[in-house]
A = this chain, B = another copy of it.
Amino acid sequence: MYINEGVKVRRTASSEERKKQLIEAAITSISRNGITGTTLTEVTGIAGLSLGLVNFHFKTKDALLVETLAHLAGELRDRWLETAGRSDLEPHQKLAAIISSHFDGSISNRRKLAVWFAFFGETKQRKSYRECTAALDMERLDAETDLCRALIAQGGYDHVNPQGVGEALEALFDGFWLNILMYPARFSNDAAKAQIYTYLAGQFPRHFTAAGPR
């Protein structure tokens, strides 16, 4: 046993426990220093663990990076599916849930957004990224498109292109995330949600107002 930040830690912790610890440290390091500036010494230093552990629990640095991204991607997916997967909600409520998930403070904060864009930025990582999240991105895009189709099926939206709305939503999510990361003084989670509802109110006025789902 030894003490780490005031908490007794079993010197021999479970593998899962250690990995989570390292991933959290990686998120912190990437958000501070970028992917390039993230060294294993830095990550283990933040985690209060020894250097050798990284290559023990993860085969390579790249593996740690990929699992870090996968962790965030999984977290986002769990979040929106948690609500959008409920059978007792209306389509437009589910759509609203997806939007809310993206701009919840536990998801959309500069620490985590920095990690997302670190992966978008590195061409090399982009490959890993796609392998790791393309399926999730498409799953979500398809879900959004399906929900739009459901709204259209309820009548009154003859000219709305459901796929286009889905794509626009994805773009709005990423675009607002980027601007929140870059210009936090000007862009906020709440304002982002408001603008997205405004957009939806333009497309589905019977289901959305600028304030949210009806």
Say which residue of B122, B182, B194 sits within 8 Å of A34 (CB atoms): B122
Contact, CB under 8 Å: B33 / A36: no
Contact stretch, chosen from A6-14, A70-78, A93-101, A113-121: A113-121
Contact stretch, chosen from A16-24, A83-91, A148-156, A173-181: A173-181
Chain B positions within 8 Å of A122 at CB level: 34-37, 118, 121
Contact, CB under 8 Å: B172 / A123: no
Specify how many copies of this chain sit in the oligomer: 4
Cα distance A181–B118 in the bound complex, in angstroms: 14
Cα distance A117–B119 in the bound complex, in angstroms: 9
- For the residues of A in contact with B, the DSSP-based class is helix
Determine how close the nearest CB of chain B comes to the CB of A64; give it in whole angstroms. Answer: 15
Contact, CB under 8 Å: A182 / B123: no
Residues of A in contact, count (CB < 8 Å): 56
Cα distance A1–B145 in the bound complex, in angstroms: 59
Contact of A137 with B by CB under 8 A: yes
Interface-centre pick from A141, A159, A179 (highest chain B CB count, 10 A): A179
Cα distance A191–B120 in the bound complex, in angstroms: 21
- Considering the complex, give the chain B residue whose CB is closest to the CB of A195: B168
Contact, CB under 8 Å: B124 / A178: no
User: Could you name 19 residue pairs across A and B whose Cβ atoms are closer than 8 Å?
Assistant: A32-B123, A37-B122, A117-B120, A117-B121, A118-B121, A120-B181, A120-B182, A129-B182, A138-B186, A161-B198, A167-B176, A167-B195, A168-B172, A171-B172, A171-B175, A171-B192, A175-B175, A175-B178, A199-B202
The 8 closest A-B pairs by CB, nearest first: A121-B121, A202-B202, A175-B175, A171-B175, A34-B123, A174-B175, A34-B122, A168-B195
